[in-house]
Chain A
Amino acid sequence: MHRTGELYGQFQTLEQQKESATMGMWVFLITEILFFGGLFLAYTVNRHAFPTAFGVGGNMLDLNLGFLNTIVLIVSSFTMAMSVWSAQTSRRKAVPAWLIATLLLGSAFLGIKVVEYKQKFDHHLIPGHNFDVTYCSRNQVACGLGDKEFADEQKEIHEGIEAEKAPRMSEEEATVALNAHAQLYFSLYFGMTGLHALHMIIGAGLLLWLIFEGFKGRFDANYNTPVENIGLYWHFVDIVWIFLFPLLYLINRHLA
Chain B
Amino acid sequence: MSEHQEHIVSPKIYLTILTALLIGTGGTVYAAKIDLGRWNIVLALSIAVTKMTLVILFFMHGKYSARRTKLIIASGFFWLAILLVLTLADYTTRHAEPSRSQLAPVGELEQQPGAPLSA
| A interface residue numbers (CB < 8 A to B) | 13-16, 18-19, 22-23, 26-27, 29-30, 33-34, 37-38, 40-41, 44-45, 48-50, 63, 67, 70-71, 74-75, 77-78, 80-82, 85, 88-89, 163-164, 166-169, 173, 177, 180-181, 231-232, 235-236, 238-239, 242-243, 245-247, 250-251, 253-255
Please tell me if the beta carbons of B44 and A251 are within 8 angstroms of each other in the complex.
Answer: yes
- Kindly count the residue-residue contacts between A and B in the assembled complex, taking CB atoms under 8 Å apart: 168
- Encoded as 1 (CB less than 8 Å from any A CB) or 0, chain B from 79 to 95 comes to 11001100110011000
The CA of A34 and the CA of B29, in the complex, are separated in Å by 27
Other than the given A14-B1, A37-B80, 6 more pairs (CB < 8 A) read A81-B14, A85-B10, A85-B14, A235-B56, A250-B28, A253-B32
Report the minimum CB–CB distance from A105 to chain B (whole Å): 12
The CA of A163 and the CA of B3, in the complex, are separated in Å by 66
- Please give, as numbers and ranges, the residues of chain B lying within 8 Å of A242 by CB-CB distance: 48, 51-52, 55
Please tell me if the beta carbons of A26 and B73 are within 8 angstroms of each other in the complex.
Answer: yes
Please tell me if the beta carbons of A34 and B55 are within 8 angstroms of each other in the complex.
Answer: no
- Please give, as numbers and ranges, the residues of chain A lying within 8 Å of B87 by CB-CB distance: 41, 45
Please tell me if the beta carbons of A246 and B47 are within 8 angstroms of each other in the complex.
Answer: yes
- Please give, as numbers and ranges, the residues of chain B lying within 8 Å of A45 by CB-CB distance: 87-88, 91
- Please give, as numbers and ranges, the residues of chain A lying within 8 Å of B66 by CB-CB distance: 19, 22-23
Please tell me if the beta carbons of B97 and A49 are within 8 angstroms of each other in the complex.
Answer: yes
- Can you name the residue of chain A whose Cβ is closest to the Cβ of B62? A26
Q: How large is the interface on B (under 10, 10 to 19, 20 to 34, 35 or more residues)?
A: 35 or more
Question: Which one, B2, B10, B40, contacts A15 given CB within 8 A?
Answer: B2
| B interface residue numbers (CB < 8 A to A) | 1-4, 6, 8-11, 14-15, 17-18, 21-22, 25, 28-29, 32-36, 40-41, 44-45, 47-48, 51-52, 55-56, 58-61, 65-66, 68-69, 72-73, 75-77, 79-80, 83-84, 87-88, 91-92, 97-103, 106, 109, 117-119
